[in-house]
Structure 1
Amino acid sequence: MRLDMQLEAILKPKRASKPRRKKKDDDDVLDRYADEEVSRLREAMMTAAQDDEQANREKLPATSKLRLLPQVMEVLRKNSLSQSIIDNNLLEGVRKWLEPLPDKSLPALDIQKEFFPILKKMEFIDTPVLKEARLGPVIIFYTKCKRVTPDIARLANDLVSAWSRPIIKRSASYRDRIIPTAHSGDGDSGRPGGERLNAILARAKESEKNRVRKNAVMIPQRMLGSYTVAPKSNTGNAKNTMSVDVDIERRKKNAERLRTLTRKITTKT
């Protein structure tokens, strides 16, 4: 019986043992693959930027970056490649693509519309990353350039504000914000905004130059402005408080009259 068991064990085919990979080895392989992919893309971005600069000097259409743009955006949108993007300094390629061309023209609008929103979503961008990529000065340029569209300028300002908070130690919470308020007595000669009469007349004279027909009646236009000082609230003044008290007293009297009338009707019935 024992011999039969030994023979059966010998004749029984052994299960092929599969080599087990350690999780750490798998992660290392994936990291190397990601680094190689991002590194190749960075080189391709730099080459495309150089090709477009050369084409711009020769007065030819600069299309190399536009052809590579879908591949670049596919990598930038992957959150799993954030560390590889930092390690291989892919943002340097982004900075190169956003720089003006040799004839001072801005890069294609498609590139701007794709890059600025994705940069705003990259929470891993910190001060050391910005210094290595030298991306900050280019974004500041977009906040000051008059040829930039309003949407891109707004995104550029948001990026500058977000990236500068750690430097100036400003909190991102709205609860910590200090908003200056203007009182009614602020300004020169009691005028709102502190604008002098000479400045008002000068602005009116300047607008008069742009009119085609001097004697024609011009339709008033509303002028919108951006303000950094909030107006002082008037909700707590004495006049409003008095009107509220009068209204409360009036309602109390009406309620008392209604109760008296109800009691009389109940007594009669």
Structure 2
Amino acid sequence: MRHRTALLSTVLAVAAATLALPGPASAVEPGFAVAVTEAPATFTAGEQARTVTVVASSELNRCQKVRWSLILQVDGPDLDEIEVARVEDGRDFPVRVENGGADTARITDVRLDPGQLCRGRTVTARYQIAFDDDAAAGEVVFQAQAFNARQTLLQESTASSRIAGREDEAEPTLSPSPEPSPSESSAEPEESADDQPAPQPEESDDDLASVPAAGSSGTPSLLGPGLIVGGVLVFVGVGLLLRLRMRNRDAEPGPAPTGFYPAA
């Protein structure tokens, strides 16, 4: 398990246990400025620590020492799910932790920052912050405060970041559709191609135009009856010609009488 500093369970350097923590400040000293210059837009639960950087500057001609205090206010995760380490020159810097309620904690330097706050010279505080694997999604607000050696508030600055839980980062996966059981397959026989109704041809405007309207009919054709009547007339005519010819044959006279008769 990697080394970490839990907010409510571990405190770096308890040598200054009697050190009074800065109380709520109602005013700031003129001529000083504090800014949160580095803070991630989103922390992801279970991932490595991210850096929060605070810088103090001064317009005064005199130099002085600074003590840093960082107030954390969370909405979502519990305080004991936050891991905080104050870092100075790549090493852990001793801090004290004060619980300000169910969702607020103050982290204050045990000793003064090694730097000098002067005109044209800044003092920087860096914090490594991470959230446990099971931390809930939500938001965290950082309120950074710079105090002098007499614990007078010089200036403060505020920033906020989003907290993303593990479930927020996971991409949704599509669950495969369940396959039908053998009983369901036997209960529902497949529909064969013969059982399916034949597709009906669509009627176009041309097809509808070629169909005569109800109650209307076309002109009847005379070719068939004319052929029949013509055939009957031909048959009757042939028969009449044959009869006339037979009758003429029956009516033919014998040899024509001459003008002479044999003598009796």
With structure 1 as the length reference, what TM-score do the two structures score?
0.20
With structure 2 as the length reference, what TM-score do the two structures score?
0.21
Quick check: which one's strand share is greater?
A: 2
Quick check: which one's helix share is greater?
A: 1
